Amino acid sequence: MEQLQILHEIIAAERSAREEVTAARREKADFDRNLELLRRQMESEAVARAKEDVEKARTEELSRVQTELEQLRTEHEKQLSALDDRFREGRDLWAEKIFRMVVGLDDQ
C-alpha cells in the first residue's frame, strides 16, 4: 500500500471516528434534554398504575363489605322472624299472666 493511500485511510478513519463522537455527543445531549420529560412520563405512568390499584382495592373492599352487610341483614331478619314467632306463640299466655297480675289473681 502506498503511503498516500495509507494517509487517506487514516484521515477517513479519523473523520469517521469524529462523526461517531459527534453523533454520540448529540445523543447524550438529546437524552439529557429529554431526561426530565422521561422522568415526568414515568412518574405519570406510576401514578396512573397506583390509581388503578387503589380503585381496584376500593372496589374489592366495597364488594366484600356489601356481601358482609347482606349476610348481617339476612341474619338479622332471621333473628327478628324467630322473635316474632316466639312472641306470637306466647302472646296469649303472657297476656293472661299480665291480666292475672293486674287483677290480683296471680298465685305468686
Separation in Å, CA 88 to CA 53, 80, 91, 99: 52, 12, 5, 17
Nearest Cα neighbor of 77 from 88, 85, 65, 66 is 85
pLDDT in tens, the chain (108 residues): 688 888 888 898 899 999 999 999 999 998 888 998 989 999 999 999 999 999 999 999 999 999 999 999 999 999 999 999 999 999 989 888 888 888 887 655
Q: What is the pTM of this model?
A: 0.51
